[in-house]
Amino acid sequence: MTPDQQLVLSKAMAGFVASGALPGAVMAISSTAGDWVEAVGRTGPDGGPLRPDAVVRISSMTKPITAALTHQLAADGVLALTDPITRWLPELADRRVVRRLDGPVDDTVPAEQEITVEDLLTMRLGFGFAFEVDSCPVAELAVARGLGMGPPLPSGVRHTPDEWIEQFATLPLMEQPGRHWRYELAYPVLGVLLARAAAMPLPRLMAERLLQPLGMTDTGFAVPEHARDRLIPCFMSGDDGPVLFDGTDDSDWLAPPVFPHAAGGLVSTATDYLRFGRLLLDGGAGLLTEEAIAELSTDQLTEEQRNGPSAAIFLDGEGWGHGVQVRLDPGLPRRYGWGGGLGTTWYNFPDHGVTAVLLTQHLPPLAEPILHFWRTLDELLGAA
Distances from the Cα of 29 to the Cαs of 98, 235, 329, 348, 367, in angstroms? 45, 25, 22, 10, 20
pLDDT at 335: 98
Between 252 and 383, the higher pLDDT residue: 252
Q: How many residues does the chain have?
A: 384
Interval 6-45: pLDDT, tens: 999 999 999 999 999 999 999 999 999 999 999 999 999 9
pLDDT at 384: 60
Q: For residues 373 and 347, is the Cβ–Cβ distance under 8 A?
A: no
Interval 307-364: pLDDT, tens: 999 999 999 999 999 999 999 999 999 999 999 999 999 999 999 999 999 999 999 9
Question: Within 13 A of 372's CA, how many CA atoms are on the CB side?
Answer: 17
Q: Which residues contact 95 (CB under 8 A, 6 or more apart)?
A: 110, 111, 115, 126, 172, 173, 177
- Please choose, from the candidates 170, 161, 235, 244, the residue with its C-alpha nearest in 3D space to the C-alpha of residue 205: 161
What is the average pLDDT across 248-263?
97
- Quick one: what percent of the chain has pLDDT higher than 70? 100
- Please choose, from the candidates 26, 53, 10, the residue with its C-alpha nearest in 3D space to the C-alpha of residue 216: 53
Residue 128 pLDDT greater than 90, yes or no: yes
Distances from the Cα of 325 to the Cαs of 176, 218, 306, 355, in angstroms? 23, 25, 11, 14
Peptide linkage before 224 cis (omega within 30 of 0): no
Dmax (CA) of the chain: 61
Secondary structure of the chain as H, E, C letters: CCHHHHHHHHHHHHHHHHHCCCCEEEEEEEECCEEEEEEEEECCCCCCECCCCCEEECHHHHHHHHHHHHHHHHHCCCCCCCCEHHHCCHHHCCCEEECCCCCCCCCEEECCCCCEHHHHHCCCCCCCCCCCCCCCHHHHHHHHCCCCCCCCCHHHCCCCHHHHHHHHHCCCECCCCCCCCCCCCHHHHHHHHHHHHHCCCHHHHHHHHHHHHHCCCCCECCCCHHHHHHECCEEEEECCEEEEEECCCCCCCCCCCCCCCCCCCCEECHHHHHHHHHHHHCCCCCCCCHHHHHHHCCCCCCHHHHCCHHHHHHCCCCEECCCCEECCCCCCCCCEEEEECCCEEEEEECCCCEEEEEECCEECCCHHHHHHHHHHHHHHHHCC
User: At 224, phi and psi to the nearest 5?
Assistant: -60, 145
What is the average pLDDT across 285-306?
97
Interval 258-292: pLDDT, tens: 999 999 999 999 999 999 999 999 999 999 999 99
- The pLDDT mean for the chain works out to 97
pLDDT at 330: 95
Distances from the Cα of 144 to the Cαs of 22, 70, 147, 150, in angstroms? 35, 29, 8, 11
Interval 42-87: pLDDT, tens: 999 999 999 999 999 999 999 999 999 999 999 999 999 999 999 9
Which amino acid is located at 22 in the chain? Answer: L
Q: For residues 105 and 171, is the Cβ–Cβ distance under 8 A?
A: yes
Residue 123 pLDDT greater than 80, yes or no: yes
- Please choose, from the candidates 121, 127, 109, the residue with its C-alpha nearest in 3D space to the C-alpha of residue 85: 121
What is the average pLDDT across 166-180?
98
Q: For residues 235 and 293, is the Cβ–Cβ distance under 8 A?
A: no
In this structure, the number of other CB atoms found within 10 A of the CB of residue 99 comes to 10
Peptide linkage before 208 cis (omega within 30 of 0): no
pLDDT at 151: 77
pTM of the model: 0.98
In the chain, what are the domains? 3-62+201-382 (3.40.710.10), 68-198 (3.40.710.10)
